[in-house]
Amino acid sequence: MATDEIDGEAHFSIFEITSEWMGSRLSSEQIEVRVSEMLHRFEPLDPSMRNWLMLDMPDLKYVNLVDIGPRNAAIIERNRMMEEDEPAPEGGYTIVIKGSAVPSEYGSPDSIMITLIIGSEWINSVEFHVGAPQYPDDFNVITYLLYRRAIEILMAIWPCPWAVASYFGDKRAATDQYNDHTFNLPWIAYLSPPLAAGLKPPAGIICEPTPGGGVILSAVDAVIDPANPDHTRRADLLEAILIDRVGLDARTGLPRPAEHPARIGPY
């Protein structure tokens, strides 16, 4: 994630994985086990996937997970959703985790940010991205291989029915041509077995099966470039699949995810 300046104007970009689903009650102990397994699987991918810090919500301070050891579940329990200063069990837990090659509460170009809303009877979500707003994108860390593997890990750990890694920003061309609005380019996507049933992706979309019968779809097997017409053409193909399979927002008609229940079974 980055902001930079061209012709004196600030511009923004982010490569982010997102997913949402409805309802998946989990206890703080169950969530702690899954968080620990998730971080363990991430660590071999890159030196930035280390030195994990978790936000202790009541104190608004990051704590080093190595230091607190078996107290992870206690921190997660403290991060329970609140309503009028009282715990709201149906709201689940909010978990914010940072990782980097060198521990940094304030972020660095290689920092990993994972934000989870988990265990809620309502909307649950996963978000993952690399970087911090004050730094340029670090393409030593932002790679196709890392994001492709990150989607696989997140889907294996959490009951996501779908997910998408996308570029979100306002760069429109390789030259210094910009417009006034941001846009989103789908890059890599996951569809659970029910959403993937019978799918025949068009030529140009990479399609790989997952252990449970879902699929991982890639527009390109490189970092998606909003200035590359072939990349944007393939992203349009992937977006069409997502609109068809994940659905439109019933209220606006825009290509936003419909509400899907937590996935049952392996990804």
Question: Helix, strand, or coil here: 23?
Answer: coil
Question: Helix, strand, or coil here: 59?
Answer: coil
Q: Contact, 206 vs 261, CB < 8 A? A: no
Could you identify the residue written with the tokens 């994985």?
17
| DSSP state for residue 105 in the 8-state scheme | T
Looking at residue 198, what is its pLDDT? Answer: 96
Digitized pLDDT (tens) for each residue of the chain, 267 residues in all: 555 554 444 456 889 999 999 987 788 889 999 999 999 999 999 999 989 999 998 778 898 887 666 567 788 888 887 666 665 667 789 999 999 998 887 888 999 999 999 998 888 999 999 998 778 899 999 999 999 999 999 999 999 999 999 998 765 443 333 333 234 789 999 999 999 999 999 999 999 999 999 999 999 999 999 889 999 999 999 999 998 999 876 666 666 777 899 999 999
- Cβ neighbours of 9 (radius 10 Å): 10
Q: At what angle do helices 144-157 and 28-42 cross, to 10 degrees?
A: 160
Q: What is the distance between the alpha carbons of residues 237 and 259, in angstroms, rounded to a whole number?
A: 22
What are the b/e assignments for 45-63, b being 16+ CB within 10 Å? Answer: bbebbbbbbbbbbeeeebb
- Which tokens in the block code for residue 82? 């609140």
Looking at residue 147, what is its pLDDT? Answer: 98
CA dihedral of 129, 130, 135, 138, whole degrees rounded to 10? -140
Looking at residue 172, what is its pLDDT? Answer: 46
Per DSSP, the residues of 82-146 read: EETTEE-GGG-EEEEEEE-SS--TT--TT-EEEEEEES-SSEEEEEEEES-TTS---TTT--HHH
| DSSP state for residue 69 in the 8-state scheme | G
Could you identify the residue written with the tokens 């930079």?
4
Looking at residue 6, what is its pLDDT? Answer: 43
